[in-house]
Structure 1
Amino acid sequence: MGLRSCVQPAWIIRKCWTLSGIRWRHLFSAMQPWLPLRNITTCTSRDRLLPYLESISGKHFLQTRSHHGNGSTSDLWNSPEHFSDGGPIQAVETFEEGARHSPVMVTQVLELLNPKNGKLFIDMTFGSGGHTKAILSENPDTQVICLDRDPLAYCYAQELAKSYREGQVLACLGKFSEVPQILYQLGIIPGSVDGILFDVGASSMQYDQRGRGFSVSQDDPLDMRMDQGRDPDGVTAMDVVNFLSVQELREIIKKYGEDRMAKDIAYAVVDARHVAGKITTTQQLAEIIESVFKGKLLRDKLNRKSHVATRTFQALRIFVNNELNEINNGLEVSYNYLRPGGVCAGISFHSLEDRIFKRHFHGIDMDEAKNMSSKQKSRMLRDHHQKYDKELIESILRRRWIPASRKVITPDVMEVQENPRSRSAKLRAAIKSADV
């Protein structure tokens, strides 16, 4: 067995163990990050990993205060040519093709961010650059830091930067959890950013690009890594479906895909790989999932036929890229780097992502149960024997964020007709409070 094939299943097992038991409750409501896992270079069986699995405990919270000391020597935004063969290198040739993808709710985003001369913005999910271009078109004198974990998007950002003066568009490669190191190296200090935008989930560019494995409708290798292999310890969707147990697959599909058929899908996947061998392509996986639904049709919000494997693909993508923890990290970083009065806007495409934005912006504790009333919260404090002293009352009343709108913002009918992929989009925004 080769080294890579051995390391990846071990990584998945460690990851699943950290998501087992009571931590699934925290993941569903809070999506808090856990302790980083140790690298394992050799393995022979699952039993050998048990000492490592049992030693993992506690949570790891991202350090969001100002970074001190020497800058990181990592290649967070260096040339990504070594990340994968043939992918990002072709970005210059396909830049115009990527530019054709339509950004979601551009008018509403510009209204919230209100770009003006000299303001500094961070586009945390650059993609093909639609929102960044809109910000620069609204006011050519703004400065935008363009971040993305996808090396192809990073190359797009580099191409866009050539059209503007030096230092106006800064292309950066990295995840949300790497932002403090990136901003430190750029000389950006906490409390100096005017606006931050998130457009989370897989982009249209990633769905449409062949060989990535995001789309149910294409027959591609089961990959789904947004960073295209930049993380040497990363795993692919192929690793997940071929090396995890029924119970572990069921938990992933149920929690991340919110699919009622999660158990049946997990059994079908495990049975199929035992009978027919390794599952390697998106078409193979889609056909296995179709067999569970036995010809049943699903409909999307536009009443169009929806593939029954869509939720499972979503779950695998979220798990492989650790997306929910990254969003939570990104919002903590955003609060630290925004100036008082700065705006943070987040576009999401399903309830798990939207719930994280909602809880951050409305001051709902990440570990709190869903839909708790004020009376229930009061009873919970009483049950924990907490006294209603002045300090506790002030901490409850103190707000980190002031929501920019009472209700979630959604695309209008015309935009949904022109861009059907926007049908599930939700936009939330909040202003950093000056009182905290």
Structure 2
Amino acid sequence: MLKRLLIPTRIRLEYLRHNTNTATAAAPPTGAAPHVPVLCDIAIEYLKGAPGRTFFDMTFGAGGHTRRLLDTLPDAKVYALDRDPVAYQLAQDLSETEEYKGRIIPLLGKFSDIPRLFAEQNLAKNSIDGMLFDFGCSSMQFDEAARGFSISHDGPLDMRMDGGLSGGLSAADVLAKVDEGDLVKILRIYGEEKAAKKIARYIVDARNAMIKIETTRQLANLVEDALDSGPRKDKLQRPAHSATKTFQALRIFVNNELNEINYGMLLANEMLRLDGRLVTITFHSLEDTIVKRHINGHVVAGAANPLPLKYSSHELIDDPEMLQSLNEKHWRQLHRHVIVPDPEEVSRNSRSRSAKLRAAVKISAPQEFYEESIE
């Protein structure tokens, strides 16, 4: 009991040691690397084989893939979706340039907003020729300290991809309210963090000591102190900050990412015409597993998000009829093995190193459930 009572005191001392000059630490970095689209050439090469010229970029970001696609196919049109209002503004600005005017249709929203956006655009199901998903965060989000995604750039602990536009809880809100048991699940499942119990206990003890965890630096330092194990390495034996998996877990939970990816793949099957092309770029195994299940026709009910969402404003997207229909094979993968960046691309853009690309063609029509799903 004595040891447990002393832990908050040690946390408080570490907190003060790490945060005596956060104003200086919060200064934005200079010379941040510009956004570079990952696996761009191969993604466009697969999309070029689509049966027509109407495309959906489901994760517009800074628009690198969209611009390359439009430059490659001068008669193409792209519906550019992003939940991030900054990315949406970039798409709007690009759509007003002489070069791309009338060829980019900016859309603001999540994957689960697509049925509504389809109706607003008077689009019919099975009308899109090619779709691209580039999952995860964009370089813009990681490089902007105020967004709260980055370990290396100190800022408010937010992590909402839409900047709070649609409400919902920030990462700081979650840490202030979450039960210890649920926090362990979040870290273990979404972050694949082996030390989930130790980190969750440290965070809860800090909370009990009346310490508010409100900035990225505070959280990173807290996790570092909890593990007290020196530098860590990722699965590829690359140096990694000890809080990397914690940040990933919170980001995924706050943005309901796995449910959105699951639903996005469901909608891809509805949106694409027969022989339409699907290209996905994932950055960790949780994303890639969902994509593989859909392409292989092995969608498992409830697998996308097994955690309680009582700390989130999102509802679980898990329609049994929709999932049952996808246990039939509707896709044919266009390559034998998963595609990863070559050493040259990784050397140019280190953020591409964990990327995996999958491309597939739609080979059969799904069950008639789309009309019901948008009511």
Q: Corresponding residue for 1:215? A: 150
Q: Corresponding residue for 2:163? A: 228
User: Which runs of structure 2 are paired with 1:159-170 in the superposition (5 Å)?
Assistant: 159-163=93-97, 164=99, 166-170=101-105
Alpha-carbon distance in 2 for matches of 1:166, 1:182: 20
Q: Is the 8 A contact 1:402 1:431 kept in 2?
A: yes
* SS at structure 2 position matched to 1:211: helix
Q: Does 1:282 align with 2:216?
A: yes
Alpha-carbon distance in 2 for matches of 1:219, 1:408: 35
1:345 to 279, 286, 301: 279
Alpha-carbon distance in 2 for matches of 1:141, 1:149: 26
Q: Is the 8 A contact 1:361 1:429 kept in 2?
A: no
Q: Is the 8 A contact 2:331 2:361 kept in 1?
A: yes
Q: Is the 8 A contact 2:190 2:253 kept in 1?
A: yes
Q: Corresponding residue for 1:423? A: 353
The offset of 1:187, in angstroms, is 1.7
User: Which runs of structure 2 are paired with 1:65-76 in the superposition (5 Å)?
Assistant: none
Question: How big is each residue's C-alpha offset from its partner over 1:25-71, in whole Å with a ceiling of 9 and x where there is no partner?
Answer: xxxxxxxxxxxxxxxxxxxxxxxxxxxxxxxxxxxxxxxxxxxxxxx
Q: Is the 8 A contact 2:50 2:129 kept in 1?
A: no
Percent of paired sites with the same residue? 48
Deviates more, 1:160-169 or 1:419-428: 160-169
1:153 to 77, 80, 87: 87
User: CA 1:145–1:396 in 2, change beyond 3 Å: closer, same or farther?
Assistant: closer
Q: Does 1:265 align with 2:199?
A: yes
Q: Corresponding residue for 2:307? A: none
The offset of 1:245, in angstroms, is 1.8
The offset of 1:162, in angstroms, is 1.2
Alpha-carbon distance in 2 for matches of 1:144, 1:406: 28
* SS at structure 1 position matched to 2:146: coil
> Which amino acid in structure 2 is aligned with residue 256 of structure 1?
Y
User: Which runs of structure 2 are paired with 1:313-328 in the superposition (5 Å)?
Assistant: 313-328=247-262
The offset of 1:331, in angstroms, is 0.9
The offset of 1:209, in angstroms, is 1.0
1:206 to 123, 141, 147: 141
| CA RMSD in angstroms, aligned pairs only | 2.2
* SS at structure 1 position matched to 2:299: coil
Q: Is the 8 A contact 1:318 1:324 kept in 2?
A: yes
The offset of 1:128, in angstroms, is 0.3
**Structure 2 segments unaligned to the other structure (5+ residues):** 1-30, 304-324, 367-375
Q: Is the 8 A contact 1:143 1:168 kept in 2?
A: yes
**Structure 1 segments unaligned to the other structure (5+ residues):** 1-96, 370-394
Question: How big is each residue's C-alpha offset from its partner over 1:315-368, in whole Å with a ceiling of 9 and x where there is no partner?
Answer: 000000000000111111111110000011111100000000000001113249
The offset of 1:167, in angstroms, is 2.9
The offset of 1:277, in angstroms, is 2.0
Alpha-carbon distance in 1 for matches of 2:210, 2:248: 24
1:134 to 65, 68, 92: 68
Deviates more, 1:112-121 or 1:201-210: 112-121
> Which amino acid in structure 1 is aligned with residue 277 of structure 2?
V
Alignment: residue pair count: 314
* SS at structure 1 position matched to 2:183: helix
The offset of 1:166, in angstroms, is 4.2
Alpha-carbon distance in 2 for matches of 1:300, 1:417: 18
Alpha-carbon distance in 1 for matches of 2:327, 2:288: 23
Q: Corresponding residue for 1:400? A: 330
Length-normalised TM-score, structure 2: 0.79
